[in-house]
Amino acid sequence: MGRIGPFELILILCIALIIFGPSKLPALAKSMGQAVKEFRKGTQDLTKDLETAVDPAAAPAAPAASAAPAAPAAAPKAEEVKPSETKA
């Protein structure tokens, strides 16, 4: 019982043709195709995320943090500092 046979498929397509009409069927089929594509992409992304969560060794390695602390930013040079303008 779980499979759709050729007779059932033809019946479903005929009912869709009667309900939506021949002018809207191509647009309906296109939107259904895009929805299936997005669903497959989402399931592949979810599967990949779950696999990396379960097996962290398969995930790309994060860059190692350096042992030395970063040097503080240098103060701006005198030429780079602009004097504040006063309005009179």
State residue 22's pLDDT score: 87
Residue type, 51: E
State residue 25's pLDDT score: 86
Query: Is the residue at 79 inside a domain?
Result: no
Distances (CA, A) of 39 to 31, 42, 45, 80: 12, 5, 10, 54
Query: Is the residue at 50 inside a domain?
Result: yes
Query: Is the residue at 63 inside a domain?
Result: no
The residues, any chain, with a CB within 8 Å of residue 20's CB and separated by 6 or more, are 28
State residue 35's pLDDT score: 96
**10-68 pLDDT, tens digit each:** 999 899 889 988 888 889 889 999 999 999 999 999 999 988 888 877 555 555 555 55
Query: Is the residue at 37 inside a domain?
Result: yes
Count of the separate structural domains present in the chain: 1
Domain that holds residue 37: 25-55
Query: Is the residue at 35 inside a domain?
Result: yes
3-class state of residue 35 by DSSP: helix
User: Would you say the pTM of this structure is higher than 0.85?
Assistant: no
State residue 85's pLDDT score: 57
State residue 52's pLDDT score: 87
